[in-house]
Homo-oligomer: A and B are copies of this chain.
Amino acid sequence: MSEISIIAVGGTIDKVYFDAKSEYEVGPPNIERVLSELNLSISYSVNSLMRKDSLDLTEQDRALIAATVANDPCDKILITHGTDTMVETAKALGQISSKTIVLTGALEPALFKTSDAVFNIGCALGAVQSLSAGVYIAMNGKVFAAGKVWKNLKKNRFEPID
Contact = CB atoms under 8 A, between A and B. Distances in A.
Interface of A: 12, 15, 17, 19, 22-24, 34-35, 37-42, 53, 107-109, 111-114, 116, 118-131, 138-143, 155-160
How many copies are assembled? Answer: 4
A22 B21 CA distance: 12
A113 B113 contact: yes
A107 B19 contact: yes
Nearest to A22: B24
B156 A39 contact: yes
Contact of A138 (B35, B38, B126, B160): B126
A119 B121 contact: yes
Contact of A42 (B19, B141, B156): B141
